[in-house]
Amino acid sequence: MIRHRLLIAMLGLLLTPWGTVQAYENEVFALKNRWEHITTQVPERERADDFSALAEDAKALAEEHPQAAQVLVWKGIILASEARAKGGIGALGLAKEARAALERAIDIDPQGNNGSAYVTLGALYDRAPGWPLGFGDSETAEKMFARALEIRPEGIDVNYYYATFLEDEGRLDEAREHARRAVEGQVREDRQASDEALREQARSLLAELE
């Protein structure tokens, strides 16, 4: 009887974390789908409010699971998207909050959810104003993109955002190469809509550069 009870207790300990993980993975899946819809279906000028509502849900989930790197990455992605949609100096607080979430995610998972954290950090460091107003820094941005490329060299998002960075830096030959890689890149199964949208943007960028 004692052994039977111990076995049940051990099984309970093993099963509880899995159930918790499953719960937040379902929530992350829902956040990701909403983000994909806003990013690909909602006109740019109308996205800010939608991203704001989504960000509140992402922050709430991150409070429930502060050690879940996947949750923190999506919190960072959504906040970065909200910052971009709002624009201006007023969005800098959102960008800083996104950076903090992504850096925390990398502390937990050095792969940054298959490189996604590094891509978003690269874009944040590229677009944010520099000192003294913000944290923008082209050298750090390039380091983030380079790390993302090490993890997922065929990524459409990695190569597209790096190409736009290189174009801004005046490194047009390199920008052209990475735009081409983005056009030829692999779509992620869980990000098909947004990756295909980026592929189209990469085609337009490549046409401008050639």
- What is the pLDDT at residue 14? 41
Whether 131 and 31 map to the same domain: the answer is yes
Whether 119 and 28 map to the same domain: the answer is yes
Contacts of 189 (CB under 8 A, 6+ apart): none
> How many structural domains comprise the chain?
2
Whether 28 and 91 map to the same domain: the answer is yes
Q: Which of 12-16, 20-24, 150-154 has the lowest average pLDDT?
A: 12-16
Q: Tell me, yes or no, whether 40 lies in a domain.
A: yes
Whether 162 contacts 177, CB under 8 Å = no
Tokens of 31: 């956040």
Q: Which of 23-32, 121-130, 137-146 has the lowest average pLDDT?
A: 23-32
For residue 50, the domain's CATH number is 1.25.40
Query: pLDDT (tens digit, 9 = 90+) per residue, 73-97?
Result: 999 999 999 999 999 888 999 999 9
Q: Could you please report the per-residue DSSP string of the chain?
A: -HHHHHHHHHHHHHHHHHHHHHHHHHHHHHHHHHHHHHHHHS-GGGHHHHHHHHHHHHHHHHHH-TT-HHHHHHHHHHHHHHHHHH-SGGGHHHHHHHHHHHHHHHHH-TTTTTTHHHHHHHHHHHHS--TTT----HHHHHHHHHHHHHH-TTBHHHHHHHHHHHHHTT-HHHHHHHHHHHHT-BPPGGGHHHHHHHHHHHHHHHHHH-
State the chain's maximal CA–CA distance in angstroms: 76
Residue with the bigger pLDDT between 160 and 22: it is 160
- What is the pLDDT at residue 22? 59
- What is the pLDDT at residue 7? 39
Residue percentage of the chain with pLDDT more than 90: 84
pLDDT tier at 8 (50, 70, 90 boundaries)? very low
Give this prediction's pTM.
0.87
- What is the pLDDT at residue 90? 83
CA distance 54 to 115: 22
Residue with the bigger pLDDT between 20 and 106: it is 106
CA distance 60 to 18: 20
| pLDDT (mean) for 150-164 | 98
pLDDT tier at 59 (50, 70, 90 boundaries)? very high
Q: Tell me, yes or no, whether 6 lies in a domain.
A: no
Domain boundary among 136, 162, 197: 136
| pLDDT (mean) for 62-71 | 96
| pLDDT (mean) for 139-168 | 98
- With 50 as the cut, is the pLDDT of residue 190 above it? yes
